[in-house]
Amino acid sequence: MADDDAPRGAAPGGGPGMDGPEAEQAEPDGGRPKRRPNGRRRADPPPQAEGPTPGDAEPDAEAPAGDGGDASEAGDGEPVRAGRFHAGAARTVRRSAAGERAGDAVPDPARPRRRMPARTRRWGTATASYVAVVLAVLVAINLVGSKITATWDVTATRSLTLTTASKSILKQLKQPVQIIAFLQPGDLQGQQIKDLLAQYVAAGHGMISSRVVDPAADRALAEKYGVTSYGTVVVASGSNTQQVQESNMVTYTATGASQFSGEAPITNAIIQVATPVQFTVDWLVGDGEPDIVQGQLPDALTDLQNQGYKVNDLNLLSTGSAGIPPSVSCVVIADPTTDLSTQEISALKTYAQAGGHLLFLLDPATKPLPNLDALLRGWGVTLQDNLVVDQAQHYGTDPTEILPTLTQAPITAPLESAHLGTILIGAQGLTLAKSLPGYTLTPFLTSSPGTGVGGTPNSWGVGDLASLTASSSLAYNAKRDTPGPLTLAAMVMQNVAGSSGSGGSGTSSSGASASATPAGAASGTSSSASGIAAEPSEAPLGQKQFRAVVFGNAQFIASAAAGQTTGPINIQGNADLFLNSVGWLTAREAGIAVRPNPALDTQVVLTAGKQTALEDSFLLGVPLICLALAFSTWYSRRRL
């Protein structure tokens, strides 16, 4: 029979290790071992001593052993590595090559688990320690940071910091001021107002308090102050109140972008409610001067009003013998095109003798103004009626757009400390008297000193303006022109009330200390028109002080002309120069500082050519870069 001829341990159609009844069970299936429901064959167990072990399971009577198998099986006599449990099945082991079978083996619960390696434990402990240290440091930083209120403003225009002008005003407050902001919750601009009020409180030396109110939630308070819209800020001190509307705290750049700038109007409101003295600036009209009240100098008007000044027109031709009221803090004479009348000259002299304050802004005149010239000569200032050219310091390519040198004076000191410059367009030179008893003359703007190539002065005043045309040469002419340095602006002081009219010394543009001042009056000297003059001092107690500031230029306060987006006064140095002059004239120290910076337009305006180049760089440049990187990667791997 075939069964008798078969070798021991083999079965027809079956695998090795099958005999007896097991072989008979394998024959109906053609000698193939049975499969599990998941389609995988059971692995044969490795050789094992007879008898079941505690970890062995009962034999599987239906699963035959065979030579077929999957990747988990090995050849005869080779032990099979213990695999992972699959689909909940027990781990199997091969018992013997003779065909002994064992049941599915399960893990021995009495067998000890393998311990975590020492290296893994060390790494785990170190990681946990590092995390704990980092968390402790972060907690410490937050605790310390919550106690520190110091801030650093790194913006280009210092727009997140109160200016020295506002801080100076807050420092001089004598009574408490409360600022109430009526804001809509969650409003972005409302958060900017909150941040600004926090700066006022921090710089207020305990005299400023702030509060944020939702007018919808506190209608009674809103009705008390007459608030009808969100974004309104109320500044109150005692019985005085001022409102600042949200529209007044927004400025617009040349491209139309809006930016928050609430410091100037809020500081102005603080001045209005906390300062008992009302400062009034009268603007002379009637002789061809630009009318500031009628909107011919809108930026200058806004700047004055933001500093708390009340601005009025002054027509001395219509006031008759009344003259200038003594309550006027300052009178501005800005570039008259016709000469002043004797009535106007008389009124200005009377105002000056009573300790008045005058600001002259005078461009080069194309025709004589004898009355005005005589008035200024009486105070030691002579108009040169020329056009100053500065080859060493000018803006752009036009040598008549001068960048003047600032000398030490109260008006210019804040500009120097803030490194701000000014631009005078089409200025004329001034000659200061070498000897004028009772007066102190101090230049504070000059043209460039020294000489250039060929001994030509770096600056000079072109004379004979009446004969100049658009095609006339501005080159230096020794017979016609006045060599520099030239004085472009000067301060004049005289103590008037109770003075004896003798004693002391004054200053001059050439440095001669020959003019006398009244007893107790201040005196100063300067080495030259471009030198450093001594700072004028205050009048002694019981005396009034006449003050005048004379500029050989009026264009620096002009607003933008038609078709332009900005004017000369929009240059921050020019605006500060103008306001500092008014502040010094009115003896208002808080008005001599650097004002809030204007909105900075950071938008980029591209020409058509630049737009095309930018588009090409993205459409072509980026793909080419990617291709280059891909080729570099392929080439480097190719060489491996």
Are 233 and 296 contained in the same domain?
no
3-class DSSP state for residue 401?
A: strand
pLDDT at 605 over 70: no
**Domain-terminating residue out of 276, 311, 334:** 276
Q: What is the pLDDT of residue 546?
A: 93
Of residues 590 and 136, which shows the higher confidence score? 136
Q: Give the confidence band of 617 by pLDDT, cuts at 50, 70, 90.
A: confident
Q: Which residues contact 368 (CB under 8 A, 6 or more apart)?
A: 339
434, part of any domain: yes
Q: Provide the 8-state DSSP code for 130.
A: H
Are 189 and 225 contained in the same domain?
yes
Are 130 and 94 contained in the same domain?
no
Are 427 and 570 contained in the same domain?
yes
d(CA 218, CA 134): 45
CATH number, domain of 346, equals 3.40.50
pLDDT at 20 over 80: no
Average pLDDT on 78-105 reads 46
Q: What is the pLDDT of residue 107?
A: 59
What is the chain's mean pLDDT, rounded? 76
3-class DSSP state for residue 527?
A: coil
Tell me phi and psi for residue 118, to 5 degrees.
-60, -35
| Tokens coding 327 | 């309550």
Highest mean pLDDT among 52-56, 319-323, 357-361, 585-589: 357-361
471, part of any domain: no
**Exposed e or buried b for every residue in 218-244, given b needs 16+ CB within 10 A?**
eeebbeebebeebbbbbbbbeeebbbb
192, part of any domain: yes
The radius of gyration of the chain from alpha carbons, rounded to an integer in Å, stands at 47
Burial class for 440, CB neighbours closer than 10 Å (0-12, 13-18, 19+): buried
Least confident range from 194-198, 239-243, 592-596: namely: 592-596
Are 539 and 418 contained in the same domain?
yes
Which pLDDT tens digit goes with each residue over 199-209? 899 888 899 99
Are 179 and 295 contained in the same domain?
no
pLDDT at 16 over 80: no
**Domain-terminating residue out of 145, 161, 190:** 145
Are 405 and 524 contained in the same domain?
yes
Report the predicted TM-score, pTM, of the whole model to 2 decimal places: 0.61
pLDDT at 360 over 50: yes
Highest mean pLDDT among 16-30, 80-94, 454-468, 601-615: 454-468
113, part of any domain: no
Range of the domain at 257: 151-276
167, part of any domain: yes
pLDDT at 524 over 80: no
Count of domains observed in the chain: 5
Are 36 and 163 contained in the same domain?
no
Residue 486 contacts residue 431 (beta carbons within 8 Å): no
Are 306 and 442 contained in the same domain?
yes
393, part of any domain: yes
pLDDT at 367 over 60: yes
Average pLDDT on 392-417 reads 89
Q: What is the pLDDT of residue 421?
A: 84
Given the structure tokens 């095609």, which residue do they identify? 471
Are 141 and 155 contained in the same domain?
no
Of residues 67 and 500, which shows the higher confidence score? 67
Are 556 and 640 contained in the same domain?
no
d(CA 249, CA 159): 13
Average pLDDT on 464-469 reads 77
Least confident range from 315-319, 406-410, 599-603, 615-619: namely: 599-603
Which pLDDT tens digit goes with each residue over 126-185? 889 999 999 999 999 888 877 776 677 776 666 678 887 788 888 888 889 999 999 988
Strands 430-432 vs 440-446: parallel, antiparallel or unpaired: unpaired
Strands 545-551 vs 401-402: parallel, antiparallel or unpaired: unpaired
115, part of any domain: no
Q: How many other C-beta atoms lie within 10 A of the C-beta of residue 203?
A: 16
Average pLDDT on 490-502 reads 69
CATH number, domain of 248, equals 3.40.30.10
Burial class for 134, CB neighbours closer than 10 Å (0-12, 13-18, 19+): exposed
Q: What is the pLDDT of residue 584?
A: 92
Q: What is the pLDDT of residue 97?
A: 44
Q: What is the pLDDT of residue 475?
A: 87
Least confident range from 257-271, 310-324, 406-420, 531-545: namely: 531-545
Are 346 and 235 contained in the same domain?
no
